Amino acid sequence: MEIEEYAYKLTELARDNILIRYRFFDIALASMKPMSKAGTGCFYYEENKLVFDPVYLLRRYKDEKNIAVRAYMHILFHNVLLHGFNINKLDKESWDLAADIAVENIILDMDFGAAALSDDEERRKVIEILKQNIPVFTADRIYRYFKTVGITEEAKDKYKDLFRIDRHINWYAQKDENNTKEEIIVSKDDWEKISRRIRTEISQFSKNKNLLDDITENIDYAIRKRYNYADMLEHFMVMNEEITVNDDEFDYIYYTYGLETYGNMPLIEPLEYKEEKKVKEFVIALDTSASCGRDIIEKFLVKTYDIIKSKETFFNKVNIHIVQCDDRIQSDEKIETTEDFESFLKNLKLKGSGATDFTPVFDYVEKLKAENEFTKLKGLIYFTDGFGIFPEKVPDYEVLFAFLYEDISRPRVPGWAMQIGMEDELYEY
């Protein structure tokens, strides 16, 4: 009883310490009520509770007087950045590690003395090395770096010892959608609202530039809207008639009645045309600058083709131009059938590896329109890393910038264009 009482006092003091310094964390802290659970040997978050083992906490406190504050801050940022909710990663170990490093980086940059630990300098050294290769330091980007570049087992063990403050026990557990408990559970939507409020208040009141940059950058990335590429492709489909049996308007009752009554004479013949929404005319622009490699461009094209073909959204004859461009037009391949698309994929050869400039593609499309190459151009999909020159003139067709990955440091996309990050759809870790 005495041990538990001391442990609760430590967690309450830790919470008050954070609140006095950073009042914009008030709702977040209120959503993490401390709860003692003996025998767990760790800190972790469960629904709306910050769970701690009282004996473990007091033992850690003997060596690290700020451990309760640090644990509170660490778990708070996991929730604010939705690390335990957006679990779509295959490698849990790498995701856990990436999330821990991301929140520890924020805490270290806050320079909050009440949360400092004795080995923080060692953490800073590791983060400094990682940032040389990961300029946008979010959990998603750290995770992608680990999975593409790789990490040795020795480094992985070292990073775990340094950055793991809590256990992510409930991140991968089956969520109970029909919760019958009387207590209020803080959902993902609730945490997203809390994150948005923190984002707003930091921008208005914080004088700490590091705090502003690190937290807002991570929050912006966490709460960004996620779109489905297949749904976005719907913008490039048009309504048109094709000769086919229209099952939707064919009435079998009258048809069968005619056959039964008059022999081989149906009363109503099936309609031989049908309006369908399909792909007919659009442009696919490929950024072939040095930043976009052949493998990822091929994955994007295969993804696009698979979506179109799986939905049977090709008209019998289409007019799709696949344009390769870096800072100038390198090639243009006209696609009229599914066979043309398949042949292009099979014999794909990329051309160009210069700088990135988007304007030549838009100028080229205008030239094609002037030459009556298109009759009903629906739009243009531009696959790129996003670091290029955008055109000033607003086109009279839909434009989708499909980015290799989402990066809030890239130039802002013009308001007339749609955008989507393809990282989650193209990379399978």
Q: How confident is the model at residue 273 (pLDDT cuts 50, 70, 90)?
A: very low
- What is the spatial distance between Cα 288 and Cα 306, in angstroms, rounded to a whole number? 22
Q: How confident is the model at residue 312 (pLDDT cuts 50, 70, 90)?
A: low
Residues shown for the chain: 429
DSSP per-residue codes, 81-116 = TTTTT----S-HHHHHHHHHHHHHHHHHHHT-GGG-
Residue 153 has pLDDT above 50, yes or no: yes
Looking at per-residue pLDDT, the higher value among 6 and 422 belongs to 6
pLDDT at 64: 95
Residue 85 has pLDDT above 50, yes or no: yes
Question: Does residue 353 contact residue 255 with C-beta atoms inside 8 Å?
Answer: no
User: By CB neighbour count within 10 A (0-12 exposed, 13-18 middle, 19+ buried), where does 37 fall?
Assistant: middle
Token pair, residue 199, equals 């984002």
For 380-391, how does the pLDDT look when each residue is reduced to its tens digit (9 = 90+)? 999 988 788 898
- Mean per-residue pLDDT, 14-29: 92
**Measured on CA atoms in the order 341, 345, 349, 351, is the torsion positive or negative?**
positive
Residue 343 CA: distances (Å) to CA of 73, 334, 335, 347:
54, 11, 10, 6
- Mean per-residue pLDDT, 221-245: 67
CB burial readout 160-191, b (16+ within 10 A) else e: eebbbbbebeebeeeeeeeeeeeeeebeeeeb
For 175-196, how does the pLDDT look when each residue is reduced to its tens digit (9 = 90+)? 544 444 444 567 888 898 998 8
Q: How confident is the model at residue 368 (pLDDT cuts 50, 70, 90)?
A: very high
Nearest 5°: the CA angle 16, 221, 387 is 145
Spell out the domains of the chain, with CATH numbers in brackets. Answer: 2-170+185-222 (no CATH), 229-242+278-426 (3.40.50.410)
- Mean per-residue pLDDT, 62-70: 96
Residue 58 has pLDDT above 80, yes or no: yes
- Mean per-residue pLDDT, 338-357: 87
Which single residue is written with the structure tokens 């013949």?
269
Question: Does residue 390 contact residue 358 with C-beta atoms inside 8 Å?
Answer: yes
Amino acid identity for residue 142 in this structure: I
Residue 270 has pLDDT above 80, yes or no: no
In this prediction the pTM is: 0.68
pLDDT at 285: 94
pLDDT at 41: 93
Q: How confident is the model at residue 366 (pLDDT cuts 50, 70, 90)?
A: very high
- Mean per-residue pLDDT, 406-422: 79
pLDDT at 182: 45
pLDDT at 105: 95
Mean pLDDT of the chain: 83
CB burial readout 236-273, b (16+ within 10 A) else e: bbbeeeeeeebeeeeeeeeeeebeeeeeeeeeeeeeee
Residues facing 52 on adjacent strands: 36, 43
- What is the spatial distance between Cα 3 and Cα 209, in angstroms, rounded to a whole number? 40
Share of the chain above pLDDT 70, in %: 79
Residue 254 has pLDDT above 60, yes or no: no
Share of the chain above pLDDT 90, in %: 41
CB burial readout 366-388, b (16+ within 10 A) else e: eebeeeeebeebbbbbbbbbbeb
